Each structure stands twice: as C-alpha cells, then as structure tokens.
Amino acid sequence: MKKTTGRTARRANLQRGATLVVALIVLTLITLLVVNAFTLSSSNLKAVGNMQSRDEAIAAANQAIELVVSSSFTDAPVAQDLNVDINKDGINDYTVVVALPRCIKATEVANPDKCDETLKALCAENNWHTEWDIRASVADGASGASVVVNQGVRVKLSNSQKTAVCATPTA
C-alpha cells in the first residue's frame, strides 16, 4: 500500500472539487440550450399560427368579395357586413366589412356595331365598360389578424345604368 503525503491528499481533494464545478457548468449550459430551444420553438409556433390566421382572414375577405361580385351590386351599390363561415362548420368565423363599391372609371365601348349578330342588341344597349373597386376589411379579435383586400372588377353597363351609379368622369 502506498502512503500518501499531505500534499498529494490536498491535490486529490482539489481535483474532486474541480470535477464538481465543471459538471455544474456543463449542466447549466445544457439547461440553457434546452430552454433556448423551447423558447425558439414556441415563438415559431406563434408565428405559424399568426400566418394561418392572416391567411384565413384573407380567404374570408375574398369570399365576401366573390359574394358581392356575383350579386347585381351595380344596381344599387351599398356598404355591407357579411358573415363568413370559413371552415363550413355552421358557425360564422369572420365578419367582413365590405365598403361601398366605387365606380372608378367608365369607358364607352368604341364600336358596339362590331358585335356578334346574336349579341348585337345587347351590345347596343350595354355600351359602357365600368371599372369598380371593391374593398373588404376583416379584423379577427381572437388572433388580432387584420387585413384589407381590394379587388378591381369590370362591368358592362347601359348608359342609363352608368349615369345612375357611376358619377366619375369618363375616360
């Protein structure tokens, strides 16, 4: 059996303490890496959730614009609030505020006489190309998503219809 001196025993005790300190530092670094990875993944999850809410709001606005365009909105343009069920579960998910459709331009058809024979009567009557701006706004209170979608639409109108609803200068 080897006999240890006092100096060697002290060095052995110091080395045991150093091992403990190094182990604690490594454990702290690993803990910090795990906490950082968790924080990063949860912020990525929030970002993806926000993008999904924004995309759903845009889809709701587009659906409301399609409803307006498919109606005879040029007969009597009005602002309106439309409820949209984006996931078709029977519950309205978004309320879309559609502003008053604006006639922004009216251009007379250059040569209505050059229409197809079957459409000649319709061409002679509907001789104005009108361009409309339809604006839909959606604000989702739950996620905070808020979008505004503008859509341009061209509609052919008769002179009397154009005069009634299109108070803009002609092009």
pLDDT in tens, 34-66: 999 888 888 888 888 888 889 999 999 999 999
Distance of alpha carbon 12 from alpha carbon 21, whole angstroms? 15
The pLDDT assigned to 155 comes to 92
Distance of alpha carbon 147 from alpha carbon 160, whole angstroms? 35
Amino acid symbol at 101: P
Cβ atoms of residues 125 and 113 within 8 Å: no
What pTM does this model have?
0.68
Cβ atoms of residues 145 and 56 within 8 Å: yes
CA atoms within 13 A on the CB side of 120: 5
